[in-house]
A and B are shown apart, each in its own frame.
Chain A
């Protein structure tokens, strides 16, 4: 009976650990610096504002495709071409070091092997499942003996 009590108490304490949620994705529980790392080299955000780095880099060029060139009055602007130029250039001004976050690579870095802050939660989950397994083993064994 005492083992059972200890097992259940241990599981409950583990479940009440700080930062515990019913369940989680890495992107939900990641600290801001993990999500932001190495992608803010050339622009800033207000506190709490989500980063849309790709959007910033593309849109600031696309929205004003005439910024870098002039037209004579009445001359048609080859708009698509100029947009293409600017989109292509949007990645030209900065480099990402190998192994750091880059445009559209969130899926790659939001995996458990790349997120050390999740490892403690994994360990805790493992301990909870182990305890539950032992508790189930003991309970079903006792019921059978009765």
Chain B
């Protein structure tokens, strides 16, 4: 695991040097600022609106970060031929994948925490209180971001980056659907659609913006179960990605 740790740190430094990260972060923060600057027209509970849309913005930010950080990693390593010497001696393929994943996951988590801080500052600027569950809600979005990151890695091993973006976005949209909505996409084959939906994650597990915006308390055990679910699904996607990567002929 020491090799994975060192490679993850290398990945982390490399990603911090890239302009993509800072560009996406700036876009998210500008979007949060724009949400808060929408006039409330004397409607009460403006804080509810800022929280709801702010957390939604952070979630979209998690998708953009996953794509921006990871869609290019493997294709670029292959194109610049840095992949061959790496997996020839110091790293096995699973160590390469885990190193790249952990590095990108840490950068993504740091960026999402910065956006959470941005949202807190916006709430304070408007004289609104910060809900207790805002940080745990961001933590759940971070876990959802890791799931998206593992999906991006999975697609990156057999598609080009321009195709990776729509595929991951499509999976993101499909995983937001309830079973009934998903079955309605192809109502003539409900059994097949239910079976396919079983493999997709339930992304609504990570969404707690509604109760937070309406001042509901959430039981702590729910956070643990949701995090466990998200991490397990990320491991499953990573193992699928590794299965594809192991089968690739890199010559």
Contact = CB atoms under 8 A, between A and B. Distances in A.
B163 interface: no
Secondary structure at the A interface, as helix, strand, loop or mixed, is helix
Nearest to A21: B194
B49 interface: no
Contacts of A133: 232, 235-236, 238-240
B218 interface: yes
B232 to A, nearest CB: 4
Contacts, number: 90
Q: Indicate the member of B208, B210, B221, B229 with the most A CB atoms within 10 Å.
A: B229
Nearest to A107: B210
B198 A23 contact: yes
A139 B78 CA distance: 25
Given A133-B232, A134-B235, 16 more contacts: A22-B198, A23-B179, A28-B179, A111-B204, A113-B211, A114-B211, A119-B225, A122-B226, A123-B225, A123-B229, A132-B236, A133-B236, A133-B238, A133-B239, A137-B94, A140-B243
B197 interface: yes
Given A22-B194, A111-B207, A136-B243, A123 B179 contact: no
A22 B245 CA distance: 29
B48 interface: no
B16 interface: no
A24 B179 contact: yes
> Size range of the interface on B?
35 or more
A69 B107 CA distance: 69
Interface residues of A, number: 30
B239 A136 contact: yes
A20 to B, nearest CB: 10
Given A22-B195, A22-B198, A23-B197, A129 B235 contact: yes
A127 interface: yes
B139 to A, nearest CB: 14
B250 to A, nearest CB: 13
A143 to B, nearest CB: 8
A77 interface: no
A133 B228 CA distance: 14
A127 B238 CA distance: 15
Given A113-B222, A125-B229, A137-B94, A108 B236 contact: no
Contacts of B211: 111, 113-114
Contacts of B232: 125-127, 129-130, 133
A139 B239 CA distance: 10
Contact of A126 (B180, B198, B229): B229
